[in-house]
Amino acid sequence: MKRITTTIGILTCLLTLNSCKKVLDTLPSDRISPDIIWSSKANAETFIFSTYGIMNNYQSGPGTDTYTTNILAQEGIANGANPVFGETLTNRSDFGTFNNWAAVRRCNVIIKNVGESTGISDADKKPLIAEAKFLRAMSYYSVARSVGRIVWIDQVLNENDEFKLPTTANPTESYNYIIKDLEDAVADLPTTKVSGRTNKYVAAAFLTEVCLQALAYKNYPAAPNVVANDPLLDKIITNAQLVISGGYTLETDYEGMFNEVKSTSPEIIYAIYRKAINTTVQNTPMQNAMPNITADKINKFQGSPLFSKSVPFECWPENFPAQNLTDEYLTVDKNDPGKALPWNQTSQYINAVDETVNVIAPFTRLGFPHDKVAKLNDENLLKMGRIKAGSTETFWTLTNENRDARWKASIISDSTRFYGELFTTGLRGNAGRFLGVINGGDYAFTLSNMYWRKGIYTNVSPSYLNSVSTDYHFVCMRLGRVYLNLAEAYLLKGDLGNALTNFNKTRTLHGQLPASNAGNLADAWTDYKRERRVELTEENDHYYSLLRWGRFGGDANGGTAAGGTIKELTEPIRVMDVSKDRKSFSIVTGPFRNIYNDRKFQPGRRYLFPIPQGFIDNNSKFAPQNPNW
């Protein structure tokens, strides 16, 4: 399979093509004549490839998940998220990247110049223009899902044109433009699959998600009033079925899709590929996911075991899975294997754990007991317990055995072996959160007693050091996500059977769980939301899905009316601690160096970010400001 990457050198390519000309006598040495760029399909493609930076808005990694309870963060990543979940944003904030006009201009330049080219055949013009329309739609979609309204520009403006253009009147108008561009792209793009480049199926896949967001923001700020025969639902179903028929298949190696093992998996519809020639660990999410642990840091807490390598991980961790997320990875009940339940609701947990026992001990650097856990002074205890005498269970078995297969594929938790090292994240382990406390508030450790495994390449050598070169890819769209979009469309239609059929695809294959047999729409929405959260974690989805479900309201938002508060965006983040002997546990909430126990969501304004007020001050046609900003 062919692949495009961000290493394309447009100037080198074009200058090579033109090397027989004495261009230095007639042209500036630092630029290329448009006549050359648009003289052939090959030359035009180099300009098009360099426009794919638009797709960086959809790359996998922590992204907008940091606004949710999927992620507990620190340092820069936390600082970027705090204003959102702490509701300290003002109308001067630009969290919605409202100004996308340079990217849109590039797309319009492609559409205009390809269309006018005398050197590109008519047969080649259609797919190239369709490619530009796809990219224009994706640039606008990143604005629309954040801000709602866009400044629609579909021509190349010059110095004599009016630049003080208006925004669209509402999100529906924005989405109408975006959907039209994507439908044109679906119609005229080829079916040829080139990794890192769009095609008919890529456009159709993204169209399914755009239509879901468009449906949620109808009538904004009033409720969307979703009805089963809405044409947008039919567009989702039609385009999802087109993608499903396109030769993609669900991947059996879920973890491999997000590392070097299956980077071009037949499930991946669109990904961004970086090459080691110009990519290092610090240019990837791995830099902020892996720890920085040395033997002396472990020894200060009498931790064990020491790592085999002296310093296998030399990163700067800022992004960790929260217990709120990992509680969603279901466990098969040992007494009733047809049931998949939260790990602490299974029969094995109920039979093994005594939640009346006090297992908290005062925190000490040395001599901390192996059968106790600790908490910090600013933390609140939610639950604790200990394995009953005579039980063969431990908190390792309760949280690992019979669990959703994506748990081990996505999360490094206590007693996980990764990169040839054994991580122990309980009290007096070698990688847990209290090591940060012992080492004077060192930011080199997790805050949640977990690290990410999803998205971590396993062939980084000689160690995870920020300057080490590595390939990397960001998954933006895949078949599992399309099945989930399709399932949501059927839920909105009230078609329980087809909804279950489609979201059970990923649940049973990737999760290796019993299929959901929800008997009503309310239960199906619960199972679907959990499935989407686990399946697409770290894939730039959860925040916008929560907003969408909040707009739908009812079963999609836990019974809350459309446009109401979203529970998942207001609950405090939880952390679980496990004793050295793995027989005691506690769950706490706290600020965790930030404000993770004081999360806010103001439904009157937070369904959209503001248009930065400075833009409105300079152009009154951008008014009015979004509601309550």
* pLDDT band of 574, cuts 50, 70, 90: very high
Nearest CA among 304, 513, 305, 326 for reference residue 412: 326
d(CA 134, CA 155): 15
Q: What is the average per-residue pLDDT within 351-360?
A: 98
Under the phi-then-psi rule, with left for phi > 0, alpha for psi from -120 to 50, and beta for the rest, what region is 52? alpha
d(CA 305, CA 566): 42
Query: Which CATH number covers residue 264?
Result: 1.25.40.390
Q: What's residue 2's pLDDT?
A: 53
For the record, the structure tokens of 418 come out as 């990764």
Q: What digits encode the pLDDT tens for the residues 84-120?
A: 999 999 999 888 789 999 999 999 999 999 999 999 9
d(CA 105, CA 113): 12
Q: What's residue 97's pLDDT?
A: 85
Helix axes 231-244, 479-493, angle to 10 degrees: 150
Q: What's residue 364's pLDDT?
A: 94
| 120 inside domain | no
* pLDDT band of 7, cuts 50, 70, 90: very low
Q: What's residue 28's pLDDT?
A: 52
Q: pTM of the predicted model, to two decimals?
A: 0.94
| 252 inside domain | yes
Q: What's residue 569's pLDDT?
A: 97
Nearest CA among 226, 245, 288 for reference residue 488: 226
3-state helix, strand, coil in the chain (%, to 5): 40, 10, 50
Average pLDDT, the chain: 94
For the ranges 2-16, 153-167, 608-622, which has the lowest average pLDDT? Answer: 2-16
Q: What digits encode the pLDDT tens for the residues 245-256?
A: 999 999 999 999
Q: What is the average per-residue pLDDT within 559-566?
A: 97
| 420 inside domain | no
Q: What digits encode the pLDDT tens for the residues 318-346?
A: 999 999 999 999 999 999 999 999 999 99
Q: What's residue 199's pLDDT?
A: 98
Q: What's residue 33's pLDDT?
A: 78
Tokens 């508060």 correspond to what residue? Answer: 565
| 226 inside domain | yes
Contact between 456 and 286 (Cβ < 8 Å): yes
| 362 inside domain | no
**Which domain range does residue 202 map to?**
191-275+471-559
| 603 inside domain | no
Q: Coil, strand or helix: which one is 478?
A: strand
| DSSP type of residue 529 | H
Q: What digits encode the pLDDT tens for the residues 432-468?
A: 999 999 999 899 999 999 999 999 999 999 999 999 9
| 165 inside domain | no
Residues 6+ apart with CB under 8 A from 517: 500
pLDDT(17) > 50: no
Domain count, the chain: 1
| 57 inside domain | no
d(CA 527, CA 479): 19
